[in-house]
Amino acid sequence: MRGKGFLIIVLLGGIGGLGYRYLPSYYNPFAPLQLADPPGWITTFKLQRLTPSQCRELLTAANQQGLISSQPVADSAGECPLSHVVRVRDFGQVKLSSSFLASCPLALRSALFVEQQAKPLTETWMKRRLTRIEHLGSYACRNIYHRPGCASQ
């Protein structure tokens, strides 16, 4: 009986190891995020695990590939300090009505969303190319309910 249990564990371990070896990187939650990874929960998991330096590297690559046009903005101090912020000007051929400030993860997620979701869905449903996004929001920092130390970002 013990021999069968051990054999089953060894077989399952071997099958799991073989499957892991041939697992595409976009299905491997421990592989680094690539800009070409398809959208899904594993990509979301990888985006959540990004370090600031990995995010900057991917954002630089996205700029070079023309997925986004962004540039770093100097850090600011005050009640709502901004650090590691970029100004997003457009998403490749998709122009924005106005630029906006975003953290690196937000800028990267936005670029991936426009490229992988918004552009294909617009072509499928509207039979047109996505060329412009009307941007209506902006960064806002204010006290919630006028309470000190409770800032909305």
Lowest mean pLDDT among 81-85, 88-92, 127-131: 81-85
Residue 127, CA distances (Å) to 96, 112, 123, 142 in order: 20, 21, 5, 41
Q: Are 68 and 40 in contact (CB under 8 A)?
A: no
Q: pLDDT tens digits for 30-80? A: 889 899 999 989 999 999 999 999 999 999 999 999 999 999 998 877 777
Under the banding of pLDDT at 50, 70 and 90, the label for residue 129 is very high
Q: Of the candidates 22, 102, 4, 97, which has an alpha carbon nearest to the alpha carbon of residue 59?
A: 102
| Sequence ranges of the domains in the chain | 35-138
Q: Are strands 151-152 and 94-103 parallel, antiparallel or unpaired?
A: unpaired
Q: Give the chain's mean pLDDT.
A: 86
Q: Would the pLDDT of 117 be above 60?
A: yes
